[in-house]
């Protein structure tokens, strides 16, 4: 990360307009140190995602995870690291399913933190519930995992994910391997495998939203 300067967001917009995915991905990894410029780029990606650009959402999901933004929002409410991991995944998936509602009236990070806060509160509510939960009262990441495991149409969409995320999601949600076993199969560490699964699920949630019936 680092570099990019004041032209980062503008150049990112140009590459998205040109449909130059490889160059856009390379540039997205060079996040500028200046927060204002970083946030301007994130807002741009969010607006393009809201307009239906899969490439913009791919880059947005990767940056949100890489920069730890969803995790930072969740940590404003939760302290247990296992819970933070789970709710961070829920937040990424909720970001995907809600992205069309992003208007840019509020900054993207503010909008994301609102989602993170809601998902964290949902987690606490489920944790404190004294009666059995309704079938649909599960975390967003688990909901997507269940769809992947049980619906052939969703499994077909998995094939549209970038390769590094596709295989991680297949191992975790179709073959139902543990994170440790999936990591061993991928020859990655567990944290990287978790990140790939989380990003893959978020991108899949966006594909489900934009895919034709």
pLDDT at 138 over 70: no
Q: What is the predicted pLDDT for the residue at 142?
A: 82
Q: Which among 142, 137, 209 is positioned nearest to 176, based on CA atoms?
A: 142
* Domain boundary assignment for the chain: 5-210
Please state, for a pLDDT cut of 70, what percent of the chain lies above it: 90
- pLDDT tens by residue, 185-205: 999 999 999 999 999 999 998
Q: Determine which helix (DSSP H) or strand (DSSP E) holds 154, and give its type and residue range.
A: helix 152-158
Token pair of 91, please? 């937040």
Average of pLDDT values for 44-70? 95
Mean pLDDT of 92-120: 94
Q: 141-157 pLDDT, tens per residue?
A: 888 888 888 888 888 88
Mean of the pLDDT values across residues 47-64?
A: 95
* Contact (Cβ atoms closer than 8 angstroms) between residue 145 and residue 198: no
Single out the residue of 67, 60, 58, 120 nearest to residue 91, CA to CA: 120
Residue of 180 and 6 predicted with greater confidence:
180
pLDDT for residue 140: 82
pLDDT(105) > 60: yes
With the C-alpha atoms ordered 72, 74, 77, 79, is the resulting torsion angle positive or negative? negative
What digits encode the pLDDT tens for the residues 8-36? 999 999 999 999 999 999 999 999 999 99
What's the whole-number mean pLDDT along residues 39-43? 96
Give me the mean pLDDT over the 35-58 stretch. 95
Whether 171 contacts 185, CB under 8 Å: yes
CB 38 within 8 A of CB 68: no
Lowest mean pLDDT among 38-52, 65-79, 198-212: 198-212
Please state, in angstroms and rounded to a whole number, the distance separating the CA atoms of residues 51 and 72: 26
Q: Burial of 176 by CB count in 10 Å (0-12 exposed, 13-18 middle, 19+ buried)?
A: exposed
pLDDT given at position 136: 39
Write the pLDDT tens digit of every residue in 159-185.
999 898 999 999 999 999 999 999 999
- Distance of alpha carbon 212 from alpha carbon 191, whole angstroms: 33
Share of the chain above pLDDT 90, in %: 68
Taking only Cα atoms into account, the Rg of the chain, rounded to an integer number of angstroms, comes to: 17
């Amino acid at each position: 990360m680092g570099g990019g300067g004041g032209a980062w967001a503008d150049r990112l917009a140009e590459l998205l307009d040109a449909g130059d995915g490889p160059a856009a991905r390379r540039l997205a990894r060079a996040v500028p140190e200046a927060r204002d410029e970083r946030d301007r780029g994130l807002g741009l990606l969010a607006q393009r995602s809201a307009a239906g650009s899969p490439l913009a959402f791919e880059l947005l999901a990767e940056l949100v995870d890489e920069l730890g933004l969803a995790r930072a929002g969740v940590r404003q409410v939760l302290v247990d690291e296992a819970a933070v991991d789970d709710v961070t995944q829920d937040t990424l998936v909720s970001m995907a399913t809600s992205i069309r509602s992003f208007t840019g009236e509020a900054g993207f990070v503010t909008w994301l933190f609102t989602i993170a806060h809601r998902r964290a509160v949902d987690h606490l509510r489920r944790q404190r519930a004294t009666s059995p939960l309704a079938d649909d009262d599960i975390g967003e990441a688990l909901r997507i995992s269940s769809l992947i495991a049980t619906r052939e149409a969703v499994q077909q969409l998995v094939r549209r994910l970038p390769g590094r995320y596709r295989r991680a999601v297949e191992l975790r949600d179709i073959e139902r391997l543990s994170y440790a076993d999936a990591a061993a199969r991928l020859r990655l560490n567990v944290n990287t495998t978790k990140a790939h699964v989380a990003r893959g699920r978020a991108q899949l949630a966006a594909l489900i939203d934009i895919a034709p019936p």
